[in-house]
Amino acid sequence: MRPKQANDGPAPRPRRDRAATRRRLLEAARELFAEHGYDHVSVRAIAARAEANVALVNRYFGSKAALFGEVLAGESALPHVLEGEAAELPGRLAEHVVRLIHHGQAGPVLRTLDRSVGDPQIQPIIRRHLERILVEPLAARLQGPDARLRATAAASIVMGIGSVRRILGLADLRAADPEALTAHLTAMFAAALAPLPEPGRDG
């Protein structure tokens, strides 16, 4: 082994895998927000779950609120539900809601929304998320006047499942026949998406 020379520097440190660290932080935030809600999760807790330096949260995402926005943007089944024939849209939305009711626990993003929707700091982020994944693409599929109003009415049915889950539970809805419940919800979505009657006319 040759003797160490005076100009020999320290051994190079292994290059950090920034992408992997960022993914770990995002996954840790997704899990913790879903478990506890935005307000009850600290940046330090996210970093600890991801086994990362706490300063990296702000370096990679800018803030806890911006990280929350990325969690919401990361996944949603709704764009796939909105694809297809416009005439079948009420039925596809109804089937989506019935799947949420009958297939176990809600996903992490829906649980995050359930636990965080009342926090005023992130309400603008949640609003933009729902606009992007539901109201705007749904309104774009509708013909006739008041498309945004009708899309918002349908969105209230989709998002209402979270409030029902939190307050009343889903036992009654799960006890219903899935086909009958789907048919009932299809009629509700069809009514919400239909053009409003003109003032002075019977519906």
| pLDDT of 123 higher than 80 | yes
| pLDDT of 24 higher than 60 | yes
| pLDDT of 6 higher than 70 | no
Per-residue pLDDT, averaged over 96-122, amounts to: 73
Which pLDDT value is given to residue 62?
Answer: 92
**Residue 142 DSSP label:** -
| Phi, psi (deg, nearest 5) at residue 98 | -65, -35
Per-residue pLDDT, averaged over 111-134, amounts to: 79
Quote the CA–CA distance of 3 and 14 in Å, as a whole number. Answer: 24
Please report which helix (H) or strand (E) contains residue 51, including its range.
none
Count of CB atoms situated within 10 Å of the CB of 158: 21
Half-sphere exposure of 176 (CA within 13 A, CB side): 15
| pLDDT of 48 higher than 70 | yes
Which pLDDT value is given to residue 85?
Answer: 87
Quote the CA–CA distance of 109 and 7 in Å, as a whole number. Answer: 54
Compute CA distances 82 → 71, 141, 197, whole Å: 21, 8, 24
| pLDDT of 15 higher than 60 | no
Q: What is the token pair recorded at 133?
A: 């994944």
Per-residue pLDDT, averaged over 91-104, amounts to: 87
Please check whether residue 78 is in contact with residue 159, taking contact to mean a CB–CB distance below 8 angstroms.
Answer: no
Per-residue pLDDT, averaged over 10-37, amounts to: 79
| pLDDT of 155 higher than 80 | yes
Q: 132, exposed or middle or buried, with CB in 10 Å at 0-12, 13-18, 19+?
A: middle
pLDDT exceeding 70 applies to what percent of the chain? 80
Per-residue pLDDT, averaged over 174-192, amounts to: 96
| pLDDT of 17 higher than 80 | yes
Q: What is the token pair recorded at 34?
A: 């879903």
Quote the CA–CA distance of 194 and 197 in Å, as a whole number. Answer: 9
> For the chain, give me the number of helices (H) and strands (E)?
12, 0
pLDDT exceeding 90 applies to what percent of the chain? 45
Q: 177, exposed or middle or buried, with CB in 10 Å at 0-12, 13-18, 19+?
A: exposed
The closest of 110, 120, 196 to 158, measured between CA atoms, is: 110
Which pLDDT value is given to residue 203?
Answer: 47
